Amino acid sequence: MVCSDAKYCVVGYCFGGPHALGFANSDEFVAAAFAHPAFLNEDHFRTIKKTDHTFPLESRRRAEDILVEVKAKYYVQVFSGVKHGFAVRGDPEVGDERWAKEESARGILVWFNRFTEEAAKAKGAFN
């Protein structure tokens, strides 16, 4: 059941990336995030309302071009020295992996907070 005052966010990792973007097209969600996405194509980025072997540099650059083209609000984090899956499987004993995993999680939370707060303000929840 969806609460009329609730602000929902969705995050997808790996093959969940396309699903996160799909859910984000619903009015029930105020923000979406994904990390090390797989199987994304240009259409996934065109439907937004507002170094990884599965998401190579050329795809990331094209995705950003599309996000600019459709005037979406977006935020991109790119981490060197980590492999696909770092945001959920990063080794906390390896400095670069731990830092990237923690920064990824922090970035997603800050991104979600931005939109849940905006949605709450728009509904007058903070008045």
Q: Residue 107 maps to which CATH number?
A: 3.40.50.1820
CB 33 within 8 A of CB 111: yes
3, 9, 14, 91: the catalytic one is 14
* Residue 56 domain-assigned (yes or no): yes
Q: Is 123 helix (H, G, I), strand (E, B) or coil?
A: coil
Instruction: Read off the pTM.
Output: 0.57
Domain tally, the chain: 1
| Domain assignment present for 125 | no
Give percent above pLDDT 90 in the chain: 18
The reply to whether 27 falls in a domain is: yes
Catalytic residue from among 9, 36, 52, 91: 52
Is 84 a residue of the active site?
Answer: yes
Residue 2 lies in a domain: no
The answer to whether residue 124 sits within a structural domain is no
In a domain? residue 64: yes
Task: State the average pLDDT for the chain.
Answer: 80
Per-residue confidence at 1, pLDDT binned at 50, 70, 90? low
The pLDDT score that the predictor gives to residue 52 is 54
| Cβ atoms of 48 and 24 closer than 8 Å | yes
Among 97, 92, 116, CA closest to 30: 116
In a domain, 86, yes or no: yes
In terms of residue numbers, what domain contains 18? 8-119
How many Å apart are CA 69 and CA 103, to the nearest integer? 27
pLDDT in tens, 49-93: 645 566 777 888 898 999 899 998 888 888 878 887 778 888 899
